[in-house]
């Protein structure tokens, strides 16, 4: 059974996010196969108000779907690699997805539906205090 949403924990912050099955089914399928997923999140270097999980040369086996370079607050993107390393970007405010190689477009596969009021505080925590634990679980 496919989950319809995921619980996301970043340090002390809790969010619920809707999986975008209709728009990014392969990205959702591939990410759900990795659950539960834990890592560290750091502040983005080039993308504005966003945090990211660098995944290096991890091969997702994905192409582009429902991709954007301009995520909205609460959008989570998976960049499957190519011009830059594979990564997950979590926008907490105004963001334009980029890397040292230039503009990127990631697969928008999750949208925060609960906890929006904590996004900015979460982003500031990562910016000023450094890497934080992040976990994604089926909810």
Q: So what's the pLDDT on residue 101?
A: 82
Bridge partners, residue 16, by sequence? 7, 114
Three-point CA angle 99, 101, 102, nearest 5°? 70
Architecture in CATH for domain 5-138: Beta Barrel (2.40)
Cα distance between residue 46 and residue 136, in whole Å: 24
| pLDDT, tens digit, 9 for 90 and up, residues 99-111 | 888 899 999 999 9
Cα distance between residue 110 and residue 108, in whole Å: 6
pLDDT for 59 beyond 90:
yes
Domain boundaries, the chain: 5-138
Mean pLDDT of the chain: 96
Supply the pTM of this predicted model: 0.96
Q: With CA atoms as reference, report the closest residue to 52 among 34, 76, 26.
A: 76
């Amino acid at each position: 059974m496919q989950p319809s949403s995921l619980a996301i924990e970043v340090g002390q912050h809790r969010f619920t996010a809707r999986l975008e099955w209709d728009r990014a089914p392969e990205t959702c399928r591939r990410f759900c196969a990795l659950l539960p997923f834990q890592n560290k999140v750091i502040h983005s270097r080039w993308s504005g108000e966003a945090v990211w999980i660098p995944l290096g040369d991890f091969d997702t086996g994905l192409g582009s779907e429902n991709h954007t370079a301009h995520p909205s607050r609460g959008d989570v993107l998976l960049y499957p690699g190519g011009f830059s390393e594979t990564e997950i970007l979590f926008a907490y405010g105004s963001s334009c997805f980029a890397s040292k190689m230039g503009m990127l477009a990631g697969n928008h596969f999750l949208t925060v539906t609960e906890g929006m009021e904590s996004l900015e505080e979460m982003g500031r925590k990562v910016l000023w205090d450094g890497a934080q634990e992040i976990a994604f679980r089926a909810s």
